[in-house]
Structure 1
């Protein structure tokens, strides 16, 4: 799925450099840092990309209090699927993206604010 103009946009990328380039492209097309997220199966890698790109991590605002607490006890794969669905994707889409993350890819998601 990669639809600019839709409520949520997602793109799988091979590495962190490509992810940062995609973040910059999204910013130039009108998304703000508060609406762009990077997800990786490797938490350290995800944090490095988020810091380098100066964007948000999926957190309490997106997951809700109970979701955030539950993610502390979930496997990384389950937590990632929950985060992806919290950003507006179906469970089938979340499962697809999480499997791609298993292979080392990075997921960039941009979400527009409801108007």
Structure 2
């Protein structure tokens, strides 16, 4: 699991158990906890999985202040797409991943910081 041209790595998994396993695998390949993010459609589920997996949720540091403020007024789907884009993905990729989250899946994103 490596990044190509410094692009973020993403993996969609079926459930929280698989998400924790994916995060552990990323840790073992050299990603720091600060560079791994967990997203689920339900905010509480994102919180629980991130805590269990020793990963992060996308926050102001990654999104920027303006996007974080805008997310307060967006639907959850729009907010998730904005968060995914803030981690280096295109709008098209973000729409694909957000649709997967609609089906109850979990998205793991890892990026190398330099």
Deviation at 1:89, TM superposition (A): 0.3
> How big is each residue's C-alpha offset from its partner over 1:3-29, in whole Å with a ceiling of 9 and x where there is no partner?
623221000000000000000000000
SS of 1:37's equivalent? strand
Aligned to 2:2: 4
What's the RMSD between the two structures over aligned residues? Answer: 0.9
Name the CA distance, whole Å, in 1 between partners of 2:87 and 2:80: 11
Aligned to 1:73: 73
1:98 is aligned to 2:84: no
Deviation at 1:55, TM superposition (A): 1.6
Aligned to 1:57: 57
SS of 2:83's equivalent? helix
Name the CA distance, whole Å, in 2 between partners of 1:4 and 1:19: 17
How many residues are treated as equivalent by the alignment? 112
Aligned to 2:47: 47
Name the CA distance, whole Å, in 1 between partners of 2:10 and 2:39: 10
Name the CA distance, whole Å, in 2 between partners of 1:64 and 1:40: 20
Deviation at 1:113, TM superposition (A): 0.8
Structure 1: 4+ residue segments shifted above 4 A: none
1:36 is aligned to 2:27: no
SS of 2:109's equivalent? strand
> How big is each residue's C-alpha offset from its partner over 1:27-56, in whole Å with a ceiling of 9 and x where there is no partner?
000000000000000111110001111221
